[in-house]
């Protein structure tokens, strides 16, 4: 098949990103990917032609913008599609500049201002007469009792925006205050700029997905959640379009003169039939594999609309067909049944029986598909590898094996670069890694400048918190002038060894720099194989304990480096 176009897709998840890649790739579009996680299973798709490791948006975004501009000039894409807000918001910031190089598949600024702000979405819906849960902005100084009296328990505390441009590595999370004491605990963090309070509306989650052109709905699809948790649904079923829900979507789209794709989330009370609009995802969404599997090809229709001005006629779809994200759904079922004994086995048996729908054509899997099996195999391999690691940690003698492995990895790294750098890496580079670097550098055998530190969070320039300064001073270490540094490619490549403190940081380093796998060791593996947890939210006692452990471990590391 000769290429019909070329796109750059930002993302790496196995739902919206992978569905977009498969949709366009099957149509002959050449697809390049710009992921944050270079080890993501979705990148194994046969439809991904090239993968580009772009720097993340950080500080003023200059490095990101320069890299994106260079890529767009070199590759001449017909369209750029962000599958997440961490890419969409930077693209929006530089829309005028980047639009001279390619088309951007993002809503206009007004639609982003309204649909990416849950309170603004509520206000528009209310003006149009569309039901929303009772809610309001938090007010300074109000009592928890007043809030619960007005909204009932639990109170739903939503971030107004899932992401903001200055903190793209931090996703806002929905929280629930089940009583006055819990609300009072959360209240100091709440403000009208960042949060909205709502009455909890019970019921089943519903979604209406659509493609619109200049305020007119071209294609719509409805699904109902079968199993859901706070982060979404891993099992859902296609359903006929509900006239009232479609009408609500149509009104919102018309009011914004919206062009693009989106998924409108609702919740309906099965007892009364009442429903409310929850929020709008004005970008590719997680449940997209289900309509795609049923012939409602949103990414392709969107591509044709934006690149050729083609408004394709709506297509019908089968209802009663289930969509499943296999591994996360299994994990959710097992987690739900955990601690229930026989109930857990019963839930697992029901789950296995549900899989029979696949044979009858009544089930579609998000990741495992016949024409592109490699992402599913990669996902399974990663899950099995993690299970094996966790199982091995329970074995007698694990600490000895971990210590031997860490020392062997360290020796191998030193053999490659005997005079190189030791870089300690933690999450924020404000607590563990700067203290460890200063402690190791202070050892008599270490040459000046051989040791440094960095973090995986995209927030450079932060100081060590006061409890950390005090705990470090007790060891004769002054961290008063330390400011956090992000682990860039240049820093990581210059390191002989990258010393991390926990499994979370190890994965974060390898997700961004998988080619440096051989340089990464965990500091705790030099002692007892246990992670050294982040003390950032702890008190002076937690810092003192953590820093004592780090001191012991860096002493052992210094002895090995001096051999």
Catalytic residues: 426, 432, 534
**CB-count exposure of residue 349 (10 Å: 0-12, 13-18, 19+):** exposed
Dihedrals φ, ψ of 264, to 5°?
-100, 120
326, 331, 332, 336: CA torsion to nearest 10? 140
**CB under 8 Å to 517, separation ≥6 — which residues?**
510
From residue 340, give the alpha-carbon distance in Å to each of 230, 328, 333, 351, 527. 21, 20, 12, 16, 36
Dihedrals φ, ψ of 426, to 5°?
-130, -170
Q: What is the DSSP letter of 37?
A: -
CA distance 177 to 186: 8
Dihedrals φ, ψ of 172, to 5°?
-70, 140
Dihedrals φ, ψ of 59, to 5°?
55, -120
CA R_g for the chain: 26
Contact in structure between 292 and 22 (CB atoms under 8 Å): yes
Strands (E), 52-130: 79-82, 103-104
């Amino acid at each position: 098949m000769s290429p019909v176009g070329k796109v750059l897709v930002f993302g790496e998840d196995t739902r919206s990103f992978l569905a977009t890649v498969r949709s366009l790739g099957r149509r002959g579009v050449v697809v390049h990917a710009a992921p944050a996680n270079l080890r993501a299973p979705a990148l194994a798709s046969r439809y991904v032609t090239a993968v580009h490791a772009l720097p993340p948006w950080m500080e003023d975004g200059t490095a990101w913008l320069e890299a994106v501009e260079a890529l767009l000039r070199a590759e001449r894409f017909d369209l750029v599609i962000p599958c997440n807000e961490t890419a969409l918001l930077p693209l929006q910031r530089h829309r005028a500049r980047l639009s001279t190089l390619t088309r951007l598949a993002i809503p206009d600024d007004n639609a982003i201002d309204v649909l990416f702000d849950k309170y603004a979405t509520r206000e528009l819906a209310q003006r149009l007469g569309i039901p929303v849960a009772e809610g309001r902005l938090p007010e300074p100084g109000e009592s928890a009792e007043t809030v619960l009296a007005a909204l009932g328990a639990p109170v739903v505390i939503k971030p107004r925006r899932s992401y903001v441009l200055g903190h793209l590595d931090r996703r806002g999370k929905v929280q629930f205050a089940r009583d006055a004491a819990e609300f009072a605990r959360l209240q100091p963090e709440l403000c009208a700029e960042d949060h909205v309070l709502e009455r909890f509306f019970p019921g089943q989650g519903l979604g209406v997905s659509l493609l619109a052109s200049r305020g007119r709905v071209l294609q719509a699809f409805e699904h109902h959640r079968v199993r859901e948790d706070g982060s979404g649904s891993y099992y859902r079923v296609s359903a006929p379009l509900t006239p009232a829900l479609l009408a609500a979507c149509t009104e919102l789209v018309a009011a914004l003169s919206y062009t693009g794709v989106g998924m409108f989330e609702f919740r309906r009370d099965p007892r009364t039939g009442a429903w409310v609009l929850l929020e709008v995802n004005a970008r590719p969404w997680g449940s997209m594999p289900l309509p795609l599997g049923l012939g409602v090809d949103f990414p392709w229709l969107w591509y044709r609309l934006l690149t050729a001005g083609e408004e394709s006629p709506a297509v019908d779809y089968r209802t009663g067909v289930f969509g499943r994200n296999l591994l996360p759904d299994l994990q959710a079922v097992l987690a739900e049944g955990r601690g229930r004994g026989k109930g857990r086995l019963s839930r697992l048996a029901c789950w296995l029986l549900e899989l029979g729908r696949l044979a009858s054509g009544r089930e579609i899997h998000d990741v495992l598909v016949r024409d592109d099996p490699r992402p599913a195999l990669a996902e399974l391999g990663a899950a099995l590898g993690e299970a094996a690691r966790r199982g091995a940690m329970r074995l007698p003698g694990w600490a000895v094996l971990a210590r031997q492995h860490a020392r062997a990895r360290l020796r191998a790294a030193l053999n490659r670069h005997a005079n190189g750098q030791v870089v300690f890496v933690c999450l924020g580079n404000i607590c563990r890694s700067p203290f460890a670097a200063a402690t190791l550098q202070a050892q008599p055998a270490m040459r000046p400048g051989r040791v440094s530190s960095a973090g995986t969070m995209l927030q450079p320039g932060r100081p060590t918190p006061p409890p950390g300064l005090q705990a470090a001073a007790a060891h004769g270490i002054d961290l008063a002038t330390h400011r956090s540094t992000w682990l860039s490619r240049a820093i990581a490549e210059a390191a002989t060894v990258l010393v991390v403190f926990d499994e979370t940081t190890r994965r974060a380093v390898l997700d961004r720099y998988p080619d440096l796998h051989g340089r990464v060791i965990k500091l705790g593996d030099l002692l007892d194989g246990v992670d050294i947890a982040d003390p950032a939210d702890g008190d002076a006692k937690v810092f003192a304990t953590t820093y004592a452990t780090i001191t012991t471990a860096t002493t052992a590391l210094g002895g090995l480096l001096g051999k």
